[in-house]
Structure 1
Amino acid sequence: MDTTKRGGVPLHWLMLIGFAVGLGAGLYVNQFVGPDVVWVQWLTSNVTGPAGQIFLRLLFMLVIPLLFSALVVGVAEMGDLKSLGRAGFKTLALTVVVSTIAVIIGLGMVNYFRPGDGVDPALAQRLLAEGAEGAAGIVENAPESVQFGQFFLDLIPSNVFTAAAENQILPIMIFALLFGIGLVMARGPNVDHLKLTIEGLLEVTMKLINMVIKLAPIAIACLMFNLAALFGWDLLVRLAAFVGVAVGAMAIHMFVVYPLVVLIGAGRSPLWFFKGVQRPMLVAFTTASSNATLPVSLKAAEDELKLPRKISRFVLTVGATANQNGTALFEGVTVLFLAQFFGIELSITQQVVVMLVCILGGVGTAGVPAGSLPVIAMILVMVGIPPEGIGLILGVDRFLDMCRTVLNVTGDLVLATVVSRGEKDEPVSPEPQPTVASVA
């Protein structure tokens, strides 16, 4: 999460204040005024509603260049695949496998506990209609079902520019993945210049994302006012259930999946592993930043886990930008929770699409402050969910960001431990000593 300050106050505190103000005002209107009063409808239609939509549309505007450049750069940073050989491919394969498990756990938890159920269907349909109207022209809703073969065929864009114009997010991410692989395989000065250009595009997009996120406190207050005025106390109950399911899914991945991966994949004791990564986990939780935790993770990998330096540095550096299990899990949980909240049943096909976008999004949004917001907003519109619903989770996102950052950082260290199995650092050759003859 971005720690930028405005007027000396950290941004996440301003977001929390905006959440509280919007929620409190909305609950007051719901309980003592009524959402159907003329002046309330005018306020939500002409002030708070458009203000929230501006924030969302700014996110939509940046989502294509953000995902393309971040995913290409994330894959291209694995340029050491040839020099590291099997270690590089093991890193890539494990990243995909463990991220897939994380998203499946999240989707399974939401489908089982259904934290978004229980909202008045009439109110949900009302906001659903308003949200669909506001999102009109951004992207088309995903179909309810498609043929299995057609689904995979649609992953490959016949024209990437057409796909971008129609905001077909998954084909664009597939193209970006292949483009990044091409940058890894190609060599030459022109390719290096192209890579620098895409990195520049990513830097510009990240800067714009930071600027947009500074509007988040106002946008959150407006979005929460609209939602709370309509749904009342049901909103708080559903929000608490969402936090519980999200944290529960992260806990399962942390204390069940990671120990099994360490035990089976690395042949090491999970207790030994968690004892060695206590400090990176603590720093990750307090800073909510994978990048800020990277130096601590590198030190723990070398000093506590005794991993080969060449492996740990490569895997942890790549993992800080590409191996984001917690982010992928969080995105999946959020999308399905909001679908349940608005009474939208997603088909198996749509849930598979959500899972794939979340897995690739874990690479495409890594290292970008609040970078998961554009991905979540775009997926919401893809499956026909009002993007205004994102305001529900922004007020509690700081705590969940801290939790998923711990999951991300720990996952990087798990990955490094498994990849390091059977690997050793190359011994440093001593400097040759001059002989008497050579001196003479």
Structure 2
Amino acid sequence: MAISDVAGPLPFDWRLAARRILRSPVTTIAMIAAGILCGLYYPDFAHAISPVAQLYLNFLKMVVLPYLVSSVIFSITAMVQDPKSVRYLGKVGMAVLVVSFLAVLVSGTLSLILQPGQIENPQSRIELGEFINSQGSVSTDLAFPFQPPPSNGDPSGGHSILLDLVPNNVFNALASGQTIQVLLFCLLFGLAMGKIPQPSSMSLTQALNAVYRACTV
């Protein structure tokens, strides 16, 4: 007699099935399509359920910074402490710089050529601004300016871009959501942790790993 005949069929795990469905890319695409159709054909219903959507977005924003900090620091520390991956750090850093430079070059060139967002007619600007601002938080959380903001002279000149990358207070950068500054701090902190002996950095590494896993549950 076969073992499968004795054991019988395995019970259906509803939790595992629901987790697979919710994490499937097909589910994400289907929900995006449903949201677009709902906004186009049932705008009143979309406005009615907008607090639920805003609550979901707030939950996502809540875990972005902990996920970013823990994952970047933990990954950089593990790479630096691994002798096999140290030789690839220079190549990875160079690849990141090259790709970032190419992305800035392409986007800047296309912006200069296509000039997106340029509206020559002042009346069209006013009508577009009134339409966007009338949609409330469902459409946008930003006010649409009718006139360009006044340009103030930058006393630091070209050095302001470099100065803005380095946070003078990492906790203030975390609180204000300065992602670039936080990312730079995480990279430098991860490199510094990688140079510390593993017995000294093990507790913090395990804590960061726990935070990362908690954000991805």
TM-score norm. by structure 1 comes to 0.35
Deviation for aligned residue 1:21: 2.7
Q: Does 1:6 align with 2:18?
A: yes
Task: Supply the distance in 2 between the matched residues of 1:83 and 1:8 (Cα, whole angstroms).
Answer: 34
Task: Supply the distance in 1 between the matched residues of 2:18 and 2:118 (Cα, whole angstroms).
Answer: 37
Q: Does 1:187 align with 2:200?
A: no
Deviation for aligned residue 1:133: 6.7
Letter in 1 for 2:163: L
What secondary structure sits across from 2:49 in the alignment? helix
Superposed, 1:10-409 pairs within 5 Å as: 11-29=24-42, 40=44, 43-45=45-47, 47-79=48-80, 87-104=87-104, 107-108=107-108, 111=111, 112=113, 121=128, 122-127=130-135, 131-132=140-141, 147-207=157-217
Letter in 2 for 1:52: A
Letter in 1 for 2:54: Q
Letter in 2 for 1:57: N
- Structure 2 unmatched ranges of 5 or more: 1-15, 144-150
> Is the Cα contact below 8 Å between 2:164 and 2:181 reproduced in 1?
yes
Q: RMSD over aligned Cα, in angstroms?
A: 3.6
Structure showing greater Rg: 2
Distance of aligned partners of 1:91 and 1:60 in 2 relative to their CA distance in 1, 3 Å threshold: same
Deviations 1:327-381 (A, max 9, x none): xxxxxxxxxxxxxxxxxxxxxxxxxxxxxxxxxxxxxxxxxxxxxxxxxxxxxxx
> Is the Cα contact below 8 Å between 1:80 and 1:88 reproduced in 2?
no
> Is the Cα contact below 8 Å between 2:39 and 2:46 reproduced in 1?
no
Task: Supply the distance in 1 between the matched residues of 2:115 and 2:17 (Cα, whole angstroms).
Answer: 36
Deviation for aligned residue 1:102: 4.9
> Is the Cα contact below 8 Å between 2:74 and 2:190 reproduced in 1?
yes
What secondary structure sits across from 1:132 in the alignment? coil
Deviation for aligned residue 1:193: 2.1
Letter in 2 for 1:131: T
> Is the Cα contact below 8 Å between 1:164 and 1:172 reproduced in 2?
yes
Task: Supply the distance in 2 between the matched residues of 1:66 and 1:98 (Cα, whole angstroms).
Answer: 26
Deviations 1:77-120 (A, max 9, x none): 322576776x3343233232233145326624762557888997
What secondary structure sits across from 1:202 in the alignment? helix
Task: Supply the distance in 1 between the matched residues of 2:55 and 2:95 (Cα, whole angstroms).
Answer: 35
> Is the Cα contact below 8 Å between 2:72 and 2:187 reproduced in 1?
yes
Indicate the residue corresponding to 2:11 in structure 1: none
Distance of aligned partners of 1:175 and 1:84 in 2 relative to their CA distance in 1, 3 Å threshold: closer
Indicate the residue corresponding to 1:291 in structure 2: none
What secondary structure sits across from 1:6 in the alignment? helix
What secondary structure sits across from 2:51 in the alignment? helix
Indicate the residue corresponding to 1:285 in structure 2: none
Letter in 2 for 1:171: Q
Deviation for aligned residue 1:189: 0.8
Indicate the residue corresponding to 1:256 in structure 2: none
Indicate the residue corresponding to 1:436 in structure 2: none
Deviations 1:293-345 (A, max 9, x none): xxxxxxxxxxxxxxxxxxxxxxxxxxxxxxxxxxxxxxxxxxxxxxxxxxxxx
Distance of aligned partners of 1:89 and 1:62 in 2 relative to their CA distance in 1, 3 Å threshold: closer
Deviation for aligned residue 1:128: 7.2
TM-score norm. by structure 2 comes to 0.65
Task: Supply the distance in 1 between the matched residues of 2:25 and 2:95 (Cα, whole angstroms).
Answer: 29
Task: Supply the distance in 2 between the matched residues of 1:182 and 1:156 (Cα, whole angstroms).
Answer: 16
> Is the Cα contact below 8 Å between 1:81 and 1:89 reproduced in 2?
no
Task: Supply the distance in 2 between the matched residues of 1:128 and 1:98 (Cα, whole angstroms).
Answer: 40
- Structure 1 unmatched ranges of 5 or more: 30-34, 135-143, 208-440
Letter in 2 for 1:91: K
Deviations 1:231-280 (A, max 9, x none): xxxxxxxxxxxxxxxxxxxxxxxxxxxxxxxxxxxxxxxxxxxxxxxxxx
Distance of aligned partners of 1:188 and 1:103 in 2 relative to their CA distance in 1, 3 Å threshold: same
> Is the Cα contact below 8 Å between 1:68 and 1:173 reproduced in 2?
yes
Task: Supply the distance in 2 between the matched residues of 1:84 and 1:7 (Cα, whole angstroms).
Answer: 33
> Is the Cα contact below 8 Å between 2:38 and 2:46 reproduced in 1?
no
What secondary structure sits across from 2:33 in the alignment? helix
> Is the Cα contact below 8 Å between 2:170 and 2:182 reproduced in 1?
yes
Letter in 1 for 2:107: L
